[in-house]
Amino acid sequence: MKKYIYFALLLIFSFTLCGCAMEDNDLTSAAEPSSQESSSSRQESASQEAAPKINSSTVLDEKNLSTESVMIITGKNGGNTLSGYAPLKKVSYPVSDAPQGISDKKLSHSHGPASGGKAHFTVNEFQDTFDRYGALTLDRKSTEKVLYLTFDCGYEYENLTARVLDVLKEKQVPAAFFCTLDHIEKEKELIGRMIKEGHIVGNHSATHPSFSEISRQQMIKEIEETENYLRENFGYAAKFFRFPAGEYTENALDAVKSMGYMSVFWSVAYDDWNTENVRGKNYAVEKVMSRLHPGAVILLHSVSKDNAAALGEIIDKARAEGYVFKGLDEYAK
């Protein structure tokens, strides 16, 4: 009889162990990288205590990963959206009160041009302020000669954004496109292409207001509305924001940060937004190349014929000088 009792207890113990192993597997599998990732990247992710590496091709299960822990969120592959991802659930951000004593003074992002391969001193001064709000105008962390290529997109002009995408694809360069809601709604196929080709579609607000002239509640609504459209129609959301016209307040910086977004400014730019002011490819190449410096965030407008014509040469010349193009998501890590 003792032998039978011992055998029964042994069976019960074995089944219990199997059940625990199955439960543990169910808890971890949803947060594992997709099967397309290499085994080495899986090991790297497992070894990190922070959020796993996220890029625009990573599938997330939002039940297991907080949207505040990552910068780019996508639905599952094989969805019926133009990005190829399944739609994501809408989000609703609480409107928190501004911290006591925070300023509502209107500020405009501007700076002097770089020279001698060094950022203008005003860029460092801006970054000193931005550090408190997790915002970016100059990468002071990287030891490489890194560049971040960004475009502002509010409307389409002569199919120039598609030409820009063609160059980026040929040169294998990542970029961020900061788009208004109106632009996203009107150019769905173009936005889908940006996402599928690995670029960031950043949030540039719904109606392009000056964030120095609207309430904190309106600020959050502007960003939330754009994000939810991307979530529902593209299965995608990127937690990078650019202030319309570069106008902001410290209150606005804090509001953007409270939503888990990074405010992205720039340290290299020129007057390229006027579609009637065409000065030629060489002008654009000279303007951008003369202002490059390590850690630069480059702002270009996708409606510029000069930019579309010059982009390939700018990329080649920058690489010849030892620069490396990276995505904003790599900085955010």
CATH number at residue 239: 3.20.20.370
Same domain, 32 and 144: no
The gap between the terminal CA atoms of the chain, to the nearest Å, is 62
How far is residue 146's CA from residue 200's CA, in Å, rounded to a whole number?
17
pLDDT for 78: 94
How far is residue 260's CA from residue 263's CA, in Å, rounded to a whole number?
10
pLDDT for 115: 87
The answer to whether residue 67 sits within a structural domain is no
Same domain, 195 and 319: yes
Annotation says 182 is catalytic: no
Same domain, 48 and 114: no
pLDDT for 111: 85
Same domain, 137 and 273: yes
Instruction: Give, as one character, the DSSP assignment of residue 131.
Output: G
Question: Nearest-CA neighbor of 175 among 145, 155, 198, 159?
Answer: 198
Same domain, 213 and 315: yes
The answer to whether residue 83 sits within a structural domain is no
The answer to whether residue 18 sits within a structural domain is yes
The answer to whether residue 146 sits within a structural domain is yes
Same domain, 208 and 116: yes
3-state secondary structure of 106: coil
pLDDT for 26: 28
3-state secondary structure of 75: coil
> Among 183, 301, 306, 329, which one carries the catalytic annotation?
301
Same domain, 30 and 160: no
Instruction: Encode burial over 163-195: b for 16+ CB neighbours within 10 A, e otherwise.
Output: bbbebbeeeebbbbbbbbbbbbeebeebbbbbb
The answer to whether residue 242 sits within a structural domain is yes
3-state secondary structure of 153: strand
Same domain, 197 and 298: yes
The answer to whether residue 77 sits within a structural domain is no
Same domain, 29 and 141: no
pLDDT for 44: 33
Same domain, 226 and 122: yes
3-state secondary structure of 81: coil
Same domain, 46 and 126: no
Annotation says 24 is catalytic: no
The answer to whether residue 63 sits within a structural domain is no
39-88 pLDDT per residue, tens: 333 333 333 322 223 333 344 444 433 343 489 999 999 999 999 999 99
Assess contact for 305 and 158: CB atoms under 8 A. yes
User: Containing H/E element for 243?
Assistant: none
3-state secondary structure of 235: coil
Torsion (CA) 298, 238, 78, 24 in degrees, nearest 10:
130
pLDDT for 234: 98
pLDDT for 228: 98
Instruction: Give, as one character, the DSSP assignment of residue 116.
Output: T
The count of structural domains within the chain is: 2
The answer to whether residue 102 sits within a structural domain is no
pLDDT for 23: 33
Sign of CA dihedral 139, 140, 142, 143: positive
Q: Which domain holds residue 285?
A: 107-332
How far is residue 58's CA from residue 145's CA, in Å, rounded to a whole number?
27
Same domain, 119 and 38: no
pLDDT for 333: 86
Sign of CA dihedral 216, 301, 111, 330: positive
The list of the chain residues with pLDDT below 70 reads 1-69
> Among 139, 152, 272, 329, which one carries the catalytic annotation?
152
